[in-house]
Amino acid sequence: MILKGVDLHKSYKMGQTKLEVLRGLDVSISEGEFVAIVGASGSGKSTLLHLLGALDKPNQGRVEFRGKALSSFGSGQLNGFRNKTVGFVFQFYHLLDELNILENTLLPAMAGSNSFGWVSRRKTAKESAILLLERMGLGGRLKHKAYQLSGGERQRVAIARALINDPELLLADEPTGNLDSETGNGILEALEEFHLAGQTIVMVTHDSRIADRADRVIRLVDGKIE
């Protein structure tokens, strides 16, 4: 088991009321598995993915990575987990507008090295970034800044960025949500190739055709897995 969520509770306090989003959810992801998470808008899919990627903490329950609770990680270990172990594709991309797409893709690689290490790593990191961007059909846009891209192109840069550190876990929040079906299929094929090469993938999607291609589909209903 590479990743496990045990009795996950997450609620948001809104003034006097408490919005309970996850209500004791259990989930296990095996190494190399491709899991799709589906559920209505507002059902807590992004919330769950954030907990699994240590971007937020549960109010109750725990997330375990290879049997070790994330809550027992020190801050350095937790940063390493977020930066190197997990590749995260955000639902709203979170690219830096003023950087070109090559620089955006390289950010997690830079963040993961000290300045000295970066000097020696830069060349190979740049080569892998270009390969990933070409794979995403963006070879002709390397000098484009993020704000000069279409929504679907941004989404594809976000996927390349998530993969740059060769993560053990790819957590993707609607990675094809803004793409036409042909481009979406291309992205899905690329993800399937990564999956065949051993990449563990947890992907949120609204598209049942995409979910059909996963090894397993998890449906979120009433704060739990149905």
Ligand X SMILES: Nc1ncnc2c1ncn2[C@@H]1O[C@H](COP(=O)(O)OP(=O)(O)OP(=O)(O)O)[C@@H](O)[C@H]1O
Residue 85 found at the interface with ligand X (CB under 6 A): no
DSSP secondary structure, 77-123, as one string: HHHHIIIIIEEEE-TT----TTSBHHHHHHHHHHHTS-HHHHHHHHH
Asked whether position 208 contacts ligand X by CB under 6 A, the answer is no
Residues 106 and 145: their CA atoms lie apart, in Å, by 13
Q: Judged by CB under 6 A, how many residues of this single chain contact ligand X?
A: 13
For position 12 contacting ligand X by CB under 6 A, the verdict is yes
Least distance to ligand X, CB of residue 47, Å? 3
- Judged by CB under 6 A, the residue of 4, 5, 38, 46 near ligand X is 46
Smaller CB separation from Mg ion, 46 or 176? 46
Min separation Cβ 222 and Mg ion, Å: 17
Residue placing its CB nearer to ligand X in the complex, 66 or 94: 94
Q: Is 165 in the site for ligand X (CB under 6 A)?
A: no
From the list 36-44, 72-80, 127-135, 193-201, the region that binds ligand X by CB under 6 A is 36-44
Question: According to the binding rule CB under 6 A, does residue 19 interact with ligand X?
Answer: yes
The single residue among 46, 100, 178, 183 that binds Mg ion, judged by CB under 5 A, is: 46
Q: Which of 222, 224, 219 is nearest to 35 (CA)?
A: 219
Long-range CB contacts (< 8 A, 24+ apart) of 21-25? 21/47, 21/223, 22/47, 22/48, 22/51, 22/58, 22/223, 22/224, 23/222, 23/223, 23/224, 24/60, 24/61, 24/223, 24/224, 25/61, 25/220, 25/223, 25/224, 25/225
User: Which CB sits closer to Mg ion, 46 or 183?
Assistant: 46
Residues that bind Mg ion (CB under 5 A): 46, 91
